[in-house]
Amino acid sequence: RFLEGAGLAEHREIEVLASAPEFAIEDLPQAGYRIYAKAPGMNSRISEVALVKDSSKIYKILELRPAGSLDGAVRSSSGEPAAMLRVTLDDLLTGERLSAETDLSGNWRLEGVRDSKYRVCFGHPENPLLPPEELDFKGNVLRYPDRTIPQTGSLLLRIVDEDSQAIVGAKLRGWSKAASPFDLTTGINGIARVSYLLPGSYHVEVEHESGREASTTLRVDGTEKERMYQIVCRTKKEDALRR
């Protein structure tokens, strides 16, 4: 959909076989449309057409060719590689999303990138570490400019029961007004690692299938390097008795 009257457009998707490449989309409301073809590892340019009173039948040829790739690197403010950082590519025309994580060297790569207009985010897409950037991708291979993220902290959250025994498989949710949320599960030794935390106060809630739960607030100044916090989880009955 595009142009004035996009609200009248209807989404249609049909499957076309190589043995019968012609297609027809009938009974469309008069409106502005974007037309494109997609297939695994393939790409076509997006065509914009307007179905109006005097132009209600349009013929288009969509050419498929191999999709492209996009790569880059991310560094911390101290110059170190930003490993395991999420990079997101949101298609502004189709609404589709591609994402990848940086490797130990801070490098990232996205395959199957189609020609389109994108929003690029580093970190959580709803609250990234850098302002979102727009990219008009056309071509096979593109090296994205290297980026440097601001200073951030990292924590190790150890979840234990009332006897200080580690709880494996506890669900953690944390959020802050000024920073990205996180959603993690504790692994061995009841520990979950939280990275790329901007300075601020984070509210953390913990739940476990045993019925144990906890909530707390942690203050992050952005200089922490895997600082350990221990959070005690109790059942509601144990918590009531304790009071």
Average pLDDT, the chain: 89
| Contact partners, residue 171, CB within 8 Å, separation at least 6 | 183, 184, 185, 206, 207, 208
Measured distance CA(86)–CA(99) in Å, rounded: 7
What's the pLDDT tens digit per position in 33-47? 888 888 888 888 888
Question: Mean per-residue pLDDT for 4-16?
Answer: 79
Sorting pLDDT into bands at 50, 70 and 90, what band is 87? very high
Measured distance CA(31)–CA(221) in Å, rounded: 52
Percent residues over pLDDT 70 in the chain: 94
Cα separations (Å) of 178 from 4, 132, 170, 205? Answer: 36, 15, 25, 18
Measured distance CA(5)–CA(220) in Å, rounded: 48
Q: Could you write out the DSSP letters of every residue in 195-242? A: EEEPSEEEEEEEE-TTS-EEEEEEEE-S--EEEEEEEE-B-HHHHHHH
Question: Mean per-residue pLDDT for 175-198?
Answer: 90
**Residue 69 token pair:** 């790739």
Instruction: Give the global pTM.
Output: 0.75
Any idea what the Cα angle at residue 176 is, between residues 96 and 146, rounded to 5°? Answer: 50
**Percentages (nearest 5) of helix, strand, coil residues in the chain:** 5, 45, 45
What's the pLDDT tens digit per position in 157-170? 999 999 999 999 99
| Contact partners, residue 79, CB within 8 Å, separation at least 6 | none
| pLDDT above 60 for 21 | yes
Sorting pLDDT into bands at 50, 70 and 90, what band is 27? confident
